[in-house]
């Protein structure tokens, strides 16, 4: 069950941050619950009356309150995981090199990503990346793509879009909800960029 504390909502919070918080911290059960709620609203034909911003804000505030996660905690957790992975592949790496790699691989929690790619093109890039990752891209399509394209696409995606793709590819979000979230993330990056 998604727990919401209405008194903790921050009306000044950007909806893209709310979506990011939700998709980065929600459990698979919470995501399924959100999906079920959306589907039930569709069946009742009252989806148009739903206030997604308010709902996402409530869910994000609830998750943050329940888990007590701060940006510093998330960053430290990411850095620790990256260090463990690097040490697994290079146990003798000097500390200075390790720190440099960790810094390069850890996304900035405060960096604003510019919408340098037009929204339609960005959505197509996401579609191609997802199709490739799921094995839905034909051999002809793969051969038409330039060398190293998937890595270049990945680094062109904002952390929000990367997180959404990861959740979708790991089966934590269904395709319909994924594309709704991608559309919103692209729209938000366009208006804030």
Distance of CA 85 to the CA centre of its chain: 21
Measured distance CA(131)–CA(137) in Å, rounded: 5
Q: How confident is the model at residue 67 (pLDDT cuts 50, 70, 90)?
A: low
Mean of the per-residue pLDDT values of the chain: 74
**Model confidence at 151: pLDDT above 80:** yes
**How far apart are alpha carbons 126 and 13 in whole angstroms?**
26
pTM for the model:
0.44
Please state the separation of Cα 129 from the chain's center in Å: 14
Q: How far is the CA of 180 from the CAs of 19, 164, 184, in angstroms?
A: 11, 10, 6
Domain spans in the chain, listed from the N-terminal domain onward:
6-67, 70-111, 114-193
- Hey, what are 156's tokens? 């062109």
Q: Is the pLDDT of residue 149 over 70?
A: yes
* Band of residue 120 on the pLDDT scale cut at 50, 70, 90: confident
Residues in the chain: 193
């Amino acid at each position: 069950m998604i727990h919401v504390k209405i008194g903790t909502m921050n009306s000044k919070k950007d909806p893209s941050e709310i979506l990011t918080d939700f998709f980065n911290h929600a459990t698979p059960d919470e995501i399924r619950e959100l999906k079920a709620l959306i589907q039930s609203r569709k069946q009742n034909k009252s989806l148009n009356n739903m206030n997604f911003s308010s709902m996402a804000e409530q869910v994000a505030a609830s998750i943050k309150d329940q888990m007590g996660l701060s940006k510093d905690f998330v960053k430290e957790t990411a850095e620790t995981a990256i260090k463990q992975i690097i040490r697994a592949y290079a146990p003798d790496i000097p500390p200075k090199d390790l720190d440099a790699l960790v810094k390069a691989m850890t996304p900035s929690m405060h960096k604003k990503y510019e919408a340098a790619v037009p929204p339609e093109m960005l959505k197509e890039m996401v579609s191609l990346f997802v199709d490739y990752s799921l094995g839905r891209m034909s051999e002809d399509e793969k051969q038409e793509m330039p060398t190293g394209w998937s890595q270049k696409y990945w680094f062109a995606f904002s952390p929000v879009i990367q997180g959404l793709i990861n959740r979708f590819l790991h089966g934590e979000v269904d395709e319909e909800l994924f594309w709704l979230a991608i559309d919103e993330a692209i729209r938000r990056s366009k208006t804030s960029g």
